[in-house]
Amino acid sequence: MTVAENKFLREAVKQGLRMQHRFLAEPVLARTGKGYLKSEGVATLQRIKANLKKSKSA
Amino acid sequence: MAALVKNWLQIVPWETVVSINAKLCEARKALHKPTSDGYAPAKELWEKSRPRKLTLTEVFQIGFQCHRLAPFCNYNGNTFVAIIKTLLDDNLKDLPADKAHVLRSIAGHIVAGTATDIERKQLDAILAAFGK
């Protein structure tokens, strides 16, 4: 495995663990044709927009 | 945003996909094991796509198809959404933070199989703004 591939693996695992609570373990999409993903809500986007606004006005 | 058409999956050999799923399953003490029917076709699709130059829409579709084939017993969605979002992270640095967040979110929904028509249209609009 190259250095870049190894770095990607670490980052993807981190990303996956961060959002793991939004997924079901079992293969829902394969069985039903409709996937499952718990909503993240709008809090993150609101925070990003507020930060952008703040940095623009500063 | 840097080149939207490129060999996006080059950096992710199938062994990495397997390792990611193993780590995610381990975290929840879930069984990490290949499935008898989905593993081989998903691996073939992934490896066949790896050297190809792909559009973002194609990358999302491959993630969705592999998720749907369910190569692993558990956490297929978590695995492929994590991969696609990580691929995007490296390439969204030039986008405004809010647009990058929306694009990441829609990508996740497409791969997870929960994207709505409105989100697909929104994705088309975002990609059109970057010349696809």
How do residues B3-21 score in pLDDT, each as one tens digit? 589 999 999 999 999 999 9
Q: Is the pLDDT of residue B49 over 60?
A: yes
Cα distance from N-terminal residue to C-terminal residue, chain A? 45
CA A11 to chain centroid = 12
Q: What is the mean pLDDT of residues B51-60?
A: 96
Kindly state the average pLDDT of the residues B66-72.
Answer: 98
The closest of B19, B125, B29 to A11, measured between CA atoms, is B19
Which one is predicted more confidently, A55 or A37? A37
pLDDT, position A45: 78
B103 touches A: beta carbon within 8 Å: no
Residues in chain B with CB shorter than 8 Å from the CB of A38 are none
On whether the CB atoms of residues B111 and B41 are closer than 8 A, the answer is no
- State pTM to two decimals: 0.92
- Rounded Cα distance between B5 and B55, Å, is 5
Rounded to a whole number, what is the distance in Å from the CA of B117 to chain A's nearest CA? 14
Q: How many CB atoms lie within 10 A of CB A55?
A: 9
Express each pLDDT in A32-45 by its tens digit.
999 999 988 888 87
Query: How remote is the C-alpha of A2 from its chain's centroid?
Result: 25
Nearest chain A residue to B112 by CA distance is A35
* Best B78, B116, B119 residue to mutate vs chain A (most A CBs within 10 Å): B78
Q: What is the pLDDT of residues B88-110, one digit of tens each?
A: 987 887 788 888 889 999 999 99
Please tell me which residue of chain A has the smallest CA distance to B30.
Answer: A25
ipTM of the complex: 0.92
